[in-house]
């Protein structure tokens, strides 16, 4: 540790080195504690982000295959429909996302 950690007024006391060392150690513990708390908050935010729901909206002209594309993504099967979807189609698919960057397009 450097001069930065010298306590003022303790230089001429018998255990000045010990007092300065203890001061340095207490500062280091406090600083590490703040870093750990910050890291825990970040981990909690990432966990909440990755465990949340993502809603996707598909918009396009009629008859181009929006529902078929959604069905293919959800079930893995492709069924060509000769009729249009009336109203709104909602589907749910749980997806495991590894920690990292998720790129879903341009």
Q: What is the DSSP string of 42-76?
A: HHHHHHHHHHS---------TTSSHHHHHHHHHHS
Q: Is residue 23 part of a domain?
A: yes
Q: Is residue 45 part of a domain?
A: yes
Q: Is residue 81 part of a domain?
A: yes
Q: Are residues 59 and 38 in the same domain?
A: no
Q: Are residues 64 and 45 in the same domain?
A: no
Q: Is residue 105 part of a domain?
A: no
| Nearest-angstrom CA–CA distance, 57 and 69 | 12
Q: Is residue 104 part of a domain?
A: no
Q: Are residues 9 and 32 in the same domain?
A: yes
Q: Are residues 46 and 58 in the same domain?
A: no
pLDDT score, position 58: 85
> At a CB cut-off of 8 Å and minimum separation 6, what does 16 contact?
7, 10
Alpha carbon 100 to chain centroid distance? 8
Q: Is residue 100 part of a domain?
A: no
Return the percentage of the chain with pLDDT > 90, whole number.
0
Residues 44, 25 contacting (CB under 8 angstroms): no
Residue 28's domain comprises 1-52
- The domain total for the chain is 2
Q: Is residue 48 part of a domain?
A: yes
Is the confidence at residue 1, as pLDDT, over 50? no
pLDDT in tens, 37-75: 777 777 777 776 666 666 778 888 888 888 888 888 888
């Amino acid at each position: 540790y450097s001069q930065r950690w010298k306590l003022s007024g303790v230089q001429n006391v018998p255990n000045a080195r010990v007092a300065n060392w203890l001061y340095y150690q207490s500062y280091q513990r406090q600083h590490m504690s703040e870093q750990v708390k910050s890291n825990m908050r970040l981990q909690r935010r990432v966990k909440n982000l990755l465990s949340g729901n993502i809603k996707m909206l598909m918009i396009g002209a009629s008859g181009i295959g929006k529902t078929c594309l959604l069905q293919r993504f959800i079930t893995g099967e492709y069924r060509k429909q000769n009729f249009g979807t009336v109203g709104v189609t909602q589907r749910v698919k749980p997806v495991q996302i590894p920690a990292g960057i998720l790129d879903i397009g341009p």
